[in-house]
Structure 1
Amino acid sequence: MAALQPVPSARAAQARAHGLAAAWVMLLSLVLGWLAVARPAPLSAQSMGIAWAWSGAITPESAVIVARLANGVADARLVIAPDRAGGESDALTVPATGYQKADANGLVRFEAGRLSPATRYRYRVETRAGQRLDGRLRTWFDGPFSFRIAFASCATTGSNSRVFDAIRELTPDLFVHMGDFHYLNIARNDARAFRRAYDRVLDSPRQSALYRAVPIVYQYDDHDFGANNADGTSPSRPAATSVYRDHVPHYPLQPGAETIQQAFGIGRARVIVTDTRTARAPVDSPQPRTMLGDAQRRWLEAELTRAKDAPLVIWVNTVPWITKANESTSEGWAPYAEERERLATLIESLGLTRRLIMLSGDGHMAALDDGRNSAYMEGRTKDSRGFVVVHGAPLDRWTRVKGGPYSHGVSRRNHQFGLLDVADTGTALEVTASARDAYGQLVPGLELKLRCDKDGCQPR
């Protein structure tokens, strides 16, 4: 006997029930997913007194580690030792005796000196009660030195994406975060809100693991400085810059400057990091507009001049440089074309065009240009070549395309980052720039191999 079929009204009721159940399942999964990303990482019993720690400002002989202690923990110390068998016998303690008192926000900043060049270290931040949080780093070498830099931008606030594991598993010597560390769009002068934003990001289990395993260079962009497309008029500016100075393990900043710019050497390469938000003029202000501000632009010009003999210069510029696809856009450097031309002309006059690689974020895509589209120097022709531009994004955010065109194309996918491998043979630098996916695999088509020396970089 055939099974009885539900009458239409029963079938409709059944469908509605299934629909409601599916909706509840979807809602529950969304809530659980949000909790997995946004909720602070549970601390182990061993590390309950220390909320987070990260390292940066690496040199051949020093490093900076910043940690935040949990409420009720007054002080801590740093113990750092070579990462090898028996390394503890050469451990250094900061401070040399006793413990360092936390500031009013629970922060302790350790400056570790007397380190050995080109050496891997383990460190631990520990409290009087024996609670500890561990990390790793490698010091640089002042001379021929091979290294790996991962770089990216744009992550949902507190993201726990698999992409952070992929970066850590590739064991870079440095992670350059090019902005949109969070998306809270704090548009007011509220230091407490910025401090909470850092806590939300650094409480993410996967991000915390990355930042303790790999030193960081971090430069904010718009969403982690103020609101979308924020510029130097943002009310958030004082809080954003002051909290950055306290929380981030950064290289020495310019005395008296409000902008956050840094420069440092790694091996025989020179890295220059510019701040494209703090002094930026609004896009509707009269020409000539400035992206960097007069003081920072003069600093950048001086840094480029000092680096003119380096076989490789890496400029970390957080926003799109190439905007030829639509020069009327308000994105990137297009509204600041006069300043862009001035800088490109200086780079060309110094002979750096063929030895400079720009790392950029903000675009919510991975992209690579070998110089065919990046030429903006005065007197350029249709055949003029600029420098290499590589975009790494987004870490964990919706995708879109900004700027271009790019000679090697664009990958509009989520969970991406860039990788810069530099192998120094002593006579030349073998450089490979590439884009990677959430598992660290090469994004097809987005790879460029160069050989760089005093005469410039050539494809290899």
Structure 2
Amino acid sequence: MADWETTQWDAVNPDRDFTKQFHIMGLRPLTEYELRVEGRAFDGVSASSVLNGNFKTAPLSEELTRVVFVATTGQAYPNQDAEGGGFRMYSAILDLSPSFFVHTGDILYYDQWAKNIDLARWGWARMFSLPTNFAFHQKVPSYFMKDDHDTWSNDSWPTQDSRFMGDFTFSQGQSVFLEQVPMGDLTYRTFRWGKDLQIWLVENRDYRSANIDPDGPEKTIWGVDQKAWFMNSVRESNATFRVLISPTPMLGPYNEGEIDNHTNIEGFFHEGEEIREFLSSQDNMLVISGDRHYQYVIEDSLTGIREYATGPSTDAHARGWNASDIRPEHRYLNIVGGFLSATAERLEGRPTLTLRHHDVDGLILNEDIHVAE
């Protein structure tokens, strides 16, 4: 135990679902760490509960190293597909030994059952007590994003007036998310993983205008501050590959009647055009999207931007598009569950980013290779 660094005992917060976040500072880059979490009664002396885990920290920005990350979306409790409970994809992801994992949102679905804050918190405990989820997050560093269903309800926004969720409010949904996942000061963030990779995780619920407002220059999903932060930090980045990870799509096509995202003509198309124009001005930049309940690769004919939809966690969750409706912009389309992996590495000395769609058991369904210009 001589090499262990130890924090002081600290009380959990009963008003925040008995949670507590610890910020561990001074870690060395590209280093394997073991982690032990101990719990005890408030007036106890020795630990009555112990959990062990491990993780590896990110490399420095000048470090040339292979980085593998995985992203998915749409995780619904009734759609479990693993024997004994949980989701098969987590075992398949572990086989890739990922550097980190990104859940792009819809981590759970409040809509039908979270009619008060206690039920919402129960939903998080239920989801992360599943054997596959529990084991996975003891081993893999993870970033969590939220979308509509794990904030409040379908296509929701902060000023929405609805009684559908009973006593559970949008602001409570925002607070519960911050209780249940590791998070810094802001829910929009960027992380550097070595010389060749930087990711941006954006916030798509907290700052948005009402979906039903007329589109125009003032209508926004990201908000003024986040949008300025994103564009400035992207311009400042010298990472070879830069990846925007968004809870909702940046590119079309979309289903009739949608007004919730940047692809929708009657939704947030004006801001979408602004962001797409900016993305197209950046070298070696692409988009990963959650939300869609199917996998795709889309290439925008006007800007050349490519977007990769991760697809949902299970096949039972896969729906929302006709498999025979293949548009000119589709480079890949598959109505299946699974996940997306991305590998940044040097092959024959050339910076390469390889994106692969996998099924729930890890089988590669599609591969797309980018070589830096």
**Same fold flag (TM > 0.5):** yes
Give the Cα separation in 1 of the matches to 2:326 and 2:208.
Answer: 22
Deviations 1:134-170 (A, max 9, x none): 1121101112232111100001137412122212232
- Uncovered stretches (5+) of structure 1, i.e. residues with no partner: 1-87, 254-259, 374-381
Structure 1 or 2: larger helix share?
1
Task: Indicate whether 1:244 and 2:173 are aligned.
Answer: no
Partner of 1:439: 361
Give the Cα separation in 2 of the matches to 1:234 and 1:328.
Answer: 18
Displacement after TM superposition at 1:197 (Å): 2.1
Displacement after TM superposition at 1:242 (Å): 1.7
Task: Indicate whether 1:200 and 2:126 are aligned.
Answer: yes
Partner of 1:154: 74
Task: Indicate whether 1:223 and 2:143 are aligned.
Answer: no
Contact 2:150 2:177 in 1 (8 A): no
Partner of 2:331: 408
Secondary structure of 1:279 counterpart: coil
Secondary structure of 2:191 counterpart: strand
What's the % identity of the aligned pairs?
21
Change (3 A) 1:110 1:424: farther
Deviations 1:1-35 (A, max 9, x none): xxxxxxxxxxxxxxxxxxxxxxxxxxxxxxxxxxx
Contact 1:157 1:184 in 2 (8 A): no
Displacement after TM superposition at 1:107 (Å): 1.6
Partner of 2:318: 399
How does the TM-score come out when normalised to structure 2? 0.83
How does the TM-score come out when normalised to structure 1? 0.68
Alignment of 1:315-330 (within 5 A): 315-324=244-253, 329-330=258-259
Task: Indicate whether 1:116 and 2:116 are aligned.
Answer: no
Deviations 1:369-409 (A, max 9, x none): 3xx32xxxxxxxx5x44222111121034222469845322
Q: What residue identity is the alignment partner of 2:273? A: E
Contact 2:339 2:359 in 1 (8 A): yes
Alignment of 1:413-432 (within 5 A): 413-414=336-337, 416-424=338-346, 428-432=350-354
Secondary structure of 2:207 counterpart: coil
- Uncovered stretches (5+) of structure 2, i.e. residues with no partner: 40-45, 81-85, 162-168
Partner of 1:47: none
Alignment of 1:363-402 (within 5 A): 363-369=292-298, 372-373=299-300, 384-396=302-314, 397-401=316-320
Q: What residue identity is the alignment partner of 2:309? A: H
Change (3 A) 1:234 1:94: farther
Secondary structure of 1:90 counterpart: coil
Contact 2:37 2:51 in 1 (8 A): yes
Partner of 1:26: none
Secondary structure of 1:201 counterpart: helix
Give the Cα separation in 2 of the matches to 1:238 and 1:338.
Answer: 27
Alignment of 1:49-448 (within 5 A): 89-95=2-8, 99-104=9-14, 105-127=17-39, 128-142=46-60, 143=62, 144-157=64-77, 159=80, 160-185=86-111, 190-234=116-160, 236-253=169-186, 260-268=187-195, 269-288=197-216, 289-307=219-237, 309-324=238-253, 329-330=258-259, 332-333=261-262, 334=264, 335-349=267-281, 352=282, 354-369=283-298, 372-373=299-300, 384-396=302-314, 397-401=316-320, 405=327, 406-414=329-337, 416-424=338-346, 428-443=350-365, 446-448=366-368
Give the Cα separation in 2 of the matches to 1:277 and 1:386.
Answer: 27
Q: What is the aligned-residue RMSD (CA, Å)?
A: 2.6
Partner of 1:69: none
Q: What residue identity is the alignment partner of 1:92? A: E
Contact 2:69 2:341 in 1 (8 A): yes
Displacement after TM superposition at 1:323 (Å): 1.5
Contact 1:324 1:404 in 2 (8 A): no
Displacement after TM superposition at 1:301 (Å): 2.3
Higher RCO (C-alpha under 8 Å, 6+ residues apart) = 2
Give the Cα separation in 2 of the matches to 1:428 and 1:240.
Answer: 44
Displacement after TM superposition at 1:280 (Å): 2.1
Secondary structure of 1:110 counterpart: coil
Number of equivalenced pairs: 339
Give the Cα separation in 1 of the matches to 2:261 and 2:94.
Answer: 29
Displacement after TM superposition at 1:298 (Å): 2.3
Q: What residue identity is the alignment partner of 2:214? A: P
Contact 1:231 1:280 in 2 (8 A): yes
Partner of 1:31: none
Partner of 1:30: none
Give the Cα separation in 2 of the matches to 1:209 and 1:273.
Answer: 24
Contact 2:199 2:244 in 1 (8 A): yes
Give the Cα separation in 2 of the matches to 1:89 and 1:427.
Answer: 41
